[in-house]
């Protein structure tokens, strides 16, 4: 099944209409989620032989972009499920089977969520404020807080990590939704409200031994899991903002074809308006090429060596930057009507501000690229 067949124009129209309600009510995109589940979208990366769609990683990347043109909050929520599916897919394609259980879970109908970010932890995957206690049977109890847990109302499995209190190792595993995995219900934000990305408190949440898949030293390392998480998260998160950048161009196009000056002339003949639209179009063409290149190279297992991380953070950073710039242009071209509460532009303008906060932020991305080009700062 093609992306356009599954995520049809009719489906996107329904989601675009519902997005306004979710935003106004600060509620989870329940109807969107239910429709996507019924279509098998959450099993996109599961092989057809196991009841999935059998899509490739780059197909899911482009599908998330298409979904985000209609409902960015919904796309961001679903994204975190697809991130774990993507990690499992990318690792398996490279001969690493440690997350095959994730693919099996998704085939069985489990819904994954991403519990990595922590308050005050700017080391992201390279350290943790969450305490991990290993029991004699190999199970691990996690105590701490995870922020921006998108898909909070719907997930059944949460991928997390914490620092072993004895060894100092970073322990990665999964816990099931339950009383020791508590959502604070605190998602009341400027935008992306439909994602309901609540803070999650881990209060001795136990990962069974068979769900503990990795133990890694603190600090940067070359383990394939780290590459898989960064590659899946950054590429798929970028897709949400590529979709928003694309929608901003569409809104700008519509504005030029519909608006007229007081003398009756069309804005399509206004040189300044045409220039603004053209700049958005050129930014979009550049971003489109980068997204296709990165997603295709991940799927094809191209070995970019040490330049992989610069490519990934550049895509994520430029996706957010381009989406913000294109949305600002749309605001100029739409006119004052777009400024009113409840317009699609007004909602998208708030949604796109979330791009400031996803790892890797601009400063971190610049440091990654500079380290690649001239080496790290001298201590």
Decide if pLDDT at 336 tops 90.
Answer: no
Q: Of 204, 110, 215, 103, which is closest to residue 158 (Cα–Cα)? A: 110
For the stretch 236-264, pLDDT in tens is: 999 999 999 999 999 999 999 999 898 99
Distance of alpha carbon 201 from alpha carbon 168, whole angstroms: 21
Q: What pTM was estimated for this model as a whole?
A: 0.96
Mean model confidence pLDDT for the chain: 96
Contact 83, 225 (CB under 8 A): no
What pLDDT does residue 379 have?
77
Give the residue ranges of DSSP H helices in the chain.
3-6, 9-25, 30-38, 57-68, 72-93, 100-107, 224-258, 271-299, 308-334, 344-351, 362-374
What pLDDT does residue 133 have?
98
Question: How far out from the chain centre does Cα 243 lie?
Answer: 11
Decide if pLDDT at 58 tops 90.
Answer: yes
Confidence bin at 295 (pLDDT 50/70/90): very high
Confidence bin at 359 (pLDDT 50/70/90): confident
Q: Which residue in the block uniquely carries the two structure tokens 């197909």?
A: 59
Q: Of 170, 153, 151, 152, which is closest to residue 161 (Cα–Cα)? A: 170
Tokens of 40: 């098998």
């Amino acid at each position: 099944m093609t992306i356009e067949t599954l995520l049809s124009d009719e489906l996107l129209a329904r989601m675009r209409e519902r997005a306004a309600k979710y935003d106004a009510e600060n509620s989870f995109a329940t109807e969107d989620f239910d429709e996507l589940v019924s279509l098998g979208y959450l099993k996109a990366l599961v092989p057809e032989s196991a009841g999935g769609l059998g899509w490739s990683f780059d197909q899911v990347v482009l599908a998330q972009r298409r979904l985000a043109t209609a409902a960015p909050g919904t796309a961001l929520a679903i994204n975190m499920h697809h991130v774990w599916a993507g990690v499992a897919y990318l690792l398996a394609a490279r001969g690493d089977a440690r997350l095959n259980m994730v693919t099996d879970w998704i085939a069985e109908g489990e819904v994954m969520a991403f519990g990595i970010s922590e308050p005050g932890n700017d080391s992201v995957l390279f350290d943790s404020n969450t305490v991990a206690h290993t029991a004699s049977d190999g199970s691990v109890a996690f105590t701490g807080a995870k922020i921006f847990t998108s898909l909070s109302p719907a997930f059944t499995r949460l991928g997390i990590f914490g620092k072993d209190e004895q060894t100092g190792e970073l322990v990665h595993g999964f816990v099931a939704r339950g009383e020791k995995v508590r959502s604070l219900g605190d998602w009341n934000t400027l935008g992306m409200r439909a994602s309901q990305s609540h803070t999650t408190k881990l209060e001795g949440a136990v990962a069974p031994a068979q769900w503990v898949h990795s133990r890694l030293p603190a600090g940067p390392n070359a383990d394939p899991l780290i590459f898989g998480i960064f590659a899946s998260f950054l590429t798929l998160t970028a897709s949400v903002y590529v979709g928003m950048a694309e929608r901003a161009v569409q809104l700008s196009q519509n504005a030029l074809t519909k608006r007229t000056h007081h003398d009756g002339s069309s804005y399509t003949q206004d040189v300044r308006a045409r220039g603004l639209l053209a700049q958005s179009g050129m930014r979009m063409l550049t971003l489109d090429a980068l997204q296709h290149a990165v997603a295709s190279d991940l799927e094809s297992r191209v070995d970019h060596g040490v330049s992989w991380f610069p490519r990934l953070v550049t895509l994520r950073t430029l996706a957010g930057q381009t989406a913000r710039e294109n949305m600002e242009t749309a605001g100029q071209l739409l006119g004052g009507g777009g400024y009113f509460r409840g317009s699609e532009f007004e909602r998208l303008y708030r949604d796109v501000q979330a791009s400031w906060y996803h790892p890797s932020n601009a400063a971190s991305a610049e440091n990654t690229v500079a380290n690649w080009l001239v080496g790290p700062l001298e201590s």
